[in-house]
Chain A
Amino acid sequence: MSAAVKYVKNVVDTLVTTLVGMKITGKYLLQKPITVQYPDERLPIPNRYRGIHYLEQEKCIECLACARACPIDCIEMDAVRHGKELEWISFTLDYQKCMFCELCVYPCPKDCIHMGTEFAFVSYDRSEFVHDLLSYRGMSRDAKQRMVEAEEKKKAKEAAKAAKEAAKVAAQAAKEGKEAAGGGGEAKA
């Protein structure tokens, strides 16, 4: 190839390849962007994603099965029992330790602890990574209701029992009185 032909070829190649490149970038320029505006919109997350836990507190019976299953002991819980009802104090998960192994989920007899789809957890202080999963502290309204009902039932039962006892006592007394009267009669007789 002579130098002159090569020179012309270089010029033509430069212009043509630049135009080809501009056509490609122009196509992308007009296309809809594939990124999403993250905090406002999010890409779908698979259901089996292992993110921040969530707890169905109503179902939990504080059996500590999850805490025992945890290989790094990052689950701690505390509650006071009032008969069958639970007054919750805390249910914390230390996300500085948690390795999202999902081993806490399987042993739960009530199926109440799950891995969520939330993956971002930001905080200004390390202590905030000890995350409380409770949605409420103390007793739930239903539990309080149930406790009040149980108390009333118990009272009613006791009252009925007391009344029965009283009736029994009264009957006894009457019987005894009758007997006494009879005795008197006999004595009279």
Chain B
Amino acid sequence: MFTEVLSAAPQSGTNAINDFLAGVKPEFVPAWAVPLTAVGIAVGITIALVSVIAMFSTWLERKVSGHIQCRYGPMRAGWHGWLQPLADGVKLLLKEDLVPVGADRVMYVVAPAIVLASVLAALAAYPLAPGFFFADLDLGIFFILAMTSTTTIGVVMAGWSSNSKWSLYGAMREAAQVVAYEIPLGISLLVPIMVAGSFNLLEVSRGQAGMFGMDWYIWPWVNPFMLPCFVLFFIAILAETKRAPFDLPEAESELVAGFMTEYSGIRWSFFFMEEYAAMYLYSVVGAFFFFGGFESPLTWGAAKVFGDGHVLYHCAAGLTLILKGFAGVFLMMWLRWTLPRVRIDQVMTLGYKYLTPLALACVLGGSLWEVFVAPILPWRNG
């Protein structure tokens, strides 16, 4: 029965790895072991990806915050402190793993795992390169949004099970915030989805494959409602990833790190890994739906020189996406060290009274443009 279940599961889930393993499989290995191993390798790659993204992002955050405050940030561990995250990681692994006396032990222990697992699952739909992805989902963006909002469950569990009033306040704020901002986040993505005509990240990227990034959806000649949509999307992802000025769930100065107050060591670092991985993932989503995804002058040149299937073309495309993702992460950090934290009622006002109606207006305008104006634009029908 076990074999039947596995063979019924979509085999394309771990495409490249699965095909490779099926090719080199010796006779005595049973067929069902191939997708299982492929899934294992994919999970390993995803976990490594999350760790590397989180490590680089913490270093970047400390450097950006330092330089904005006219400091250097970490300078001791390696060149300009680039080994600092490694030292921090070792420190966090060696720290004592505390569980408060009054805490709900099971939920307390499981919560960080759920938080991290949600972002790991979301990363499964993140294509590393046009030809290297774990899951080519037709509902890719839908899956990513669903998985990243699962984080909230983990956060609320952490806040509740800690049995601390700070943690509970933090968790309640997180829940309120995510409910408020999930709506404009989803709605603001509708305009690029309408233009692309697909939920699939790879197809959205292919739709912007014009010369020198001239077909990126962000440009006003594609759809003038795209830029306000991007601004709304960006504000919403700041709130979704609990970044300043919407870092109310962890508000270190009033709630003492909010839902993470009672956590220590490696469990605490899970929350941070989730935060940075989610920042990167949302930036990548923004890159896919507004800034061309894999497409850039670099990718275009690589496709012209090496051809579409060449490994260097895939490398160029992957590098383009990584650069775009970290550009978004950098922008989020820049904003964090610029703006003060807003009050909880201001967060709600912004979410319900401004972002949601404006997003709806943008969708209305964008769809009217798509129906009436886009068909008569020569560059939209080429």
Interchain CB contact (< 8 A) of A25 among B66, B338, B354: B338
Does A18 lie within 8 Å of B354, measured CB to CB?
no
A29 to B67, CA, bound (A): 5
* B253 close to chain A: CB less than 8 A: no
Does B339 lie within 8 Å of A21, measured CB to CB?
yes
Tell me which residues across on chain B come within 8 A of A22, comparing CB atoms.
334-335, 338
* A28 close to chain B: CB less than 8 A: yes
Instruction: Give the contact stretch, choosing among B70-78, B125-133, B164-172, B274-282.
Output: B70-78
Does B358 lie within 8 Å of A37, measured CB to CB?
no
A125 to B71, CA, bound (A): 33
Interchain CB contact (< 8 A) of B335 among A18, A24, A29, A31: A18
For B353, the closest partner residue in chain A by CB is: A7
For A19, the closest partner residue in chain B by CB is: B338
Within 8 A of B (CB), among A2-59: 7, 10-11, 15, 18, 21-22, 24-26, 28-31, 33-35, 37
Interchain CB contact (< 8 A) of A35 among B71, B231, B337, B339: B71
* B64 close to chain A: CB less than 8 A: yes
Number of residue pairs spanning A and B whose beta carbons lie under 8 angstroms apart = 41
State how many angstroms separate the Cβ of A65 from the closest Cβ of chain B. Answer: 46
State how many angstroms separate the Cβ of A131 from the closest Cβ of chain B. Answer: 28
For chain B, the bracket of interface size reads 10 to 19
Does B70 lie within 8 Å of A33, measured CB to CB?
yes
Tell me which residues across on chain B come within 8 A of A15, comparing CB atoms.
231
For A10, the closest partner residue in chain B by CB is: B354
* B3 close to chain A: CB less than 8 A: no
For chain A, the bracket of interface size reads 10 to 19
For A20, the closest partner residue in chain B by CB is: B338
Contact with A along B271-309 (1 / 0, CB 8 A): 000000000000000000000000000000000000000
State how many angstroms separate the Cβ of B60 from the closest Cβ of chain A. Answer: 12
Does B64 lie within 8 Å of A29, measured CB to CB?
yes
A113 to B337, CA, bound (A): 50
A37 to B335, CA, bound (A): 27
State how many angstroms separate the Cβ of A54 from the closest Cβ of chain B. Answer: 30
Does A28 lie within 8 Å of B72, measured CB to CB?
no
Does A28 lie within 8 Å of B354, measured CB to CB?
no
For B337, the closest partner residue in chain A by CB is: A25
A7 to B231, CA, bound (A): 17
Q: Which residues of B contact A (CB under 8 A)?
A: 64, 66-72, 75, 231, 334-335, 337-339, 354, 358
Q: Which residues of A contact B (CB under 8 A)?
A: 7, 10-11, 15, 18, 21-22, 24-26, 28-31, 33-35, 37
- List 13 contacting pairs A-B, 8 Å CB cutoff, sorted by A: A10-B354, A11-B354, A18-B339, A21-B338, A25-B334, A25-B338, A26-B334, A28-B67, A28-B69, A29-B67, A29-B334, A33-B72, A35-B72
In the complex, the 9 A-B pairs of residues with the closest C-beta atoms, listed nearest first = A21-B338, A25-B338, A34-B70, A25-B68, A29-B68, A29-B67, A33-B70, A35-B71, A33-B72
